Structure 1
Amino acid sequence: MMRILALGLTLTAAPLAIADSLPAQTLLERMTEATQELDYQGRFLYQLGGEVSTMEIRHAVIDGEQYQRFTHLDGRLVEVLRLGDELVCLHPNGTLTRIDDPDQNLLSFRQRLSSRIPEQYNVLVDGDGRVAGRATTRMRVAPLDNHRYGYRLWLDNESHLLLKSEMVDASGLAMERVEFVTLDLEPDLGESDFELPRVIAERALETVPASRSESIHLEAGWLPRGFHAAEGDWRRVTAERSPVAAQSYSDGLATFTVFVESVASDDIEEGVSRIGPTVAISRVAAAGERTYLLTLVGEIPQPTAERVMEGLGVEVAARP
């Protein structure tokens, strides 16, 4: 994930004169359209926990397909590109990973956010401000319970692009922050701006249906209100490791995924870790004669993730 810092701009809390003509839902819809349909490039800061990175983004629509390129500008060179339905990761060691993602399961928060905010959130127009020298409309997406995080958003008044976002906990503390420092709305981008460099090695990571020989099913004893399992199960397959079954859950905005893999009794790593808003919890579960490692990864509060894990069970059945 990208890492980005806030510049500490002072934003006013004055009411918006356009609030009546452009209500919150309309603003979010226009933000989503702008993110997907406009050509733009810029630099932004990303902060996650105590880590800060400087990033560059280029986005263009070419022959009806979205092209996007994220480049780390500090530290070792890392790039992530979206070329239509394909996600490509360029690693610091000169290798490349292609991820086939036709259903766009790996989209970022700003692309998941749309005008249809789940009923577990309250959306408000909250004032105005300035980001990267541009006038913005400030909004709040506030959760109605403690099982999900809230967001503060700053939308560009001219283009409706999301110029700054903060994921906040129940106390209002920003756990993740993204903030543009430059923005060009007429970048004149072409396919050459999204070309891949020569790499040492390349591998593919596909999301494919689960094995025909068996079906791994997760039974969730408890989920926060509004969260539902995504349809179908799938496996990530690489040349380096055994298949891993996974099930994603979402309330329409917040998302977490539970990965399930068969492990040997001496190959078990249980524990909890957090980086900013992202929590990862692993525990062991038995199904029949096998031992499975369950790992939940997502941007939900740790107490909520632990409660979900307590109620998870694994069922394995042979496919007909």
Structure 2
Amino acid sequence: MKPIWFSVCLLAGNLLYSNIASAQSVPGAMLQQMSSASRSLNYELAYISINKQGVESLRYRHAVIDKQPLGQLLHMDGPRREVLQRGGGISYFEPGLEPFTLSGEHIVDALPSVVYADFNYLAKYYDFISVGRTRISDRPCEVFRVVARDGSRYGYVIWLDMDTKLPLRVDLLDRDGEVLEQYRVISFEVGQQVQNIMQGLLATDLPPLLSLPVAENVQLSWSTGWLPAGVNEVARNRRKLPNVAEPVESRLYSDGLFSFSVNVSPSSSNTGQQFYRQGRRTIQTEIRNGNEITVVGELPPSTAKRIADSVSFKVSQ
């Protein structure tokens, strides 16, 4: 009897594992569809952005014409502020500033950054959890949570339109479940009519592309000893700041969802540790061995402090 029971238990375990794996993969596949739909569909979204500073009303249009992405982000309140995308150029129009264009794949401030994430990569470090179904903007939605397995980062709750897979609501949560930021669609359209509106952008004169300095291969005498799982260094530099005698050395890190920098500069101050948090952004500063270490970015304060504490310096020979 024991071999039979062992076989039955093994079979049941395999079936259970298969169901669990399938349940975990389905939310990831749905979120990847959201990313694809946001890049490929012709649509217009009217939405509000809510954070600790207040509420902002915006309109975002997106279309693909002749395989070229087109976008328009318009701030609906106050002085006219507009961002336009044509292909790989993102043009900014702000009151009191000369218009300019930067290279980019999408308008950074249009949709929450999680919309453009590579969920196949994030699946190694985040859990994607199906929460259920509800209704947003009179549309049926599926709800998913995105949670870091190591608990070191913020999380998201995402409401996906069941038909188009476009995000209709996105909440950024801290580790206690408090909403730090919310993106919420009020109304939207999908289809040819949006493409017709965006057609005129093909012939619009846009400001010239700004040329940015070429990144140098800078050698730094310090490193971070601990980083959240999945985080990689994406850039480093050494630069002079106005009214600062010594240069500041920086490393920029990202896991594809959240970004932050670690900055080191000489300091004669004896001030201890300090931190400041506003919404999703934390600034953690400490003085050690004559160096000021500052972590700035989209991190919970405890994570920023752990990263700052882990910075080590090479001993001069």
Q: TM-score, structure 1 length as denominator?
A: 0.73
* CA offsets 1:271-316 (integer angstroms, 9 cap, x no match): 6432211223355678xxxx9765433211011112212223567x
- Which residue identity lines up with residue 181 of structure 2 in the other structure? E
Q: Which amino acid aligns with 1:258?
A: V
Higher mean Cα deviation, 74-83 or 106-115?
A: 106-115
TM-fit CA distance, 1:103: 11
Compute the displacement of 1:74 (Å): 1.4
Over 3 Å counting, the alpha-carbon distance change for 1:105 and 1:54 in structure 2 is: closer
Change (3 A) 1:203 1:35: closer
Task: Specify the alignment match of 1:251 in structure 2.
Answer: 255
| Contact 2:152/2:303 (<8 A) preserved | yes
Give the Cα separation in 2 of the matches to 1:36 and 1:198: 22
* 1:176 paired residue among 153, 175, 181: 181
Note the alpha carbon deviations across 1:124-166, whole angstroms, 9 max, x for none.
1111111122111111112333311111000011110111111
Instruction: Please give the alpha-carbon distance, in whole angstroms, between the structure 2 residues aligned to 1:206 and 1:237.
Output: 16
Which consecutive unaligned segments of at least 5 residues does structure 2 have?
1-21
User: Pick from 137, 141, 144: which aligns with 1:139?
Assistant: 144
- Corresponding residue number in structure 2 for 1:281: 284
Structure 1 residues not aligned, in runs of 5+: 1-18
**Identity within the alignment, %:** 25
SS of structure 2 residue aligned to 1:253: coil
Aligned partner of 2:198 in structure 1 is 190
Q: Tell me, yes or no, if structure 1 residue 91 matches structure 2 residue 101.
A: no
Spell out, residue by residue over 1:178-212, the C-alpha distance to the aligned partner (whole angstroms, 9 max, x if none). 0111111021243524777888xx8936263127x
CA distance in 2, matches of 1:299, 1:203: 28
Q: Which residue of 1 aligns with 2:302?
A: 303
- Select the structure of larger CA radius of gyration: 2
Alpha-carbon distance between aligned partners in 1 of 2:204 and 2:114, rounded to the nearest angstrom: 25
C-alpha deviation, 1:238, in angstroms: 11
SS for the counterpart of 1:215 is: coil
Contact 2:92 2:101 in 1 (8 A): yes
Describe the SS at the equivalent of 2:303.
helix
Query: How far apart, CA to CA, are the structure 2 residues paired with 1:285 and 1:120?
Result: 31
Bigger strand fraction? 1
Contact 1:100 1:205 in 2 (8 A): no
The change in CA–CA distance for 1:215 and 1:71 in structure 2 (over 3 A counts) is same
Do the aligned partners of 1:49 and 1:175 also contact (CA within 8 Å) in 2? yes
- The question of whether the paired residues in 2 share the 8 Å contact of 1:85 and 1:104 is answered with no
SS at match of 1:32: helix
1:101-116 to 2 correspondences below 5 Å: 101=104, 108-116=113-121
CA distance in 2, matches of 1:314, 1:87: 39
Moved more, 86-95 or 158-167: 86-95
**For structure 1, which segment, 181-190 or 100-109, has the greater mean C-alpha deviation from structure 2 after superposition?**
100-109
In structure 2, C-alpha distance between the alignment counterparts of 1:181 and 1:296, rounded to whole Å:
36
Measured at CA, do residues 253 and 203 of structure 1 come closer, stay the same or move farther in structure 2, by a change above 3 Å? closer
How well do the aligned residues superpose, as a CA RMSD in angstroms?
4.0
* Cα displacement (A) at 1:258: 3.1
Helix, strand or coil: the match of 1:208? coil
Which stretch shows the higher mean deviation, 164-173 or 295-304?
Answer: 295-304
Following superposition, the deviation at residue 102 of structure 1 comes to 7.2
Shift of the 298–194 alpha-carbon distance from structure 1 to 2, 3 Å rule, reads farther
Higher relative contact order (CA 8 A, sep 6+): 1
Q: Distance in 1 between matches of 2:287 and 2:106?
A: 30
Give the corresponding residue for 2:44.
41
- Correspondences of 1:1-320 after superposition (within 5 Å): 23-101=26-104, 108-186=113-191, 187-188=194-195, 189-193=197-201, 204=210, 206=212, 208-210=214-216, 215-216=219-220, 218-230=222-234, 233=236, 246-259=250-263, 272-282=275-285, 295-313=294-312
How many residue pairs align between the two structures?
A: 286
Q: Secondary structure of the residue that 1:190 maps to in structure 2?
A: helix
- The residue that corresponds to 2:11 in the other structure is none
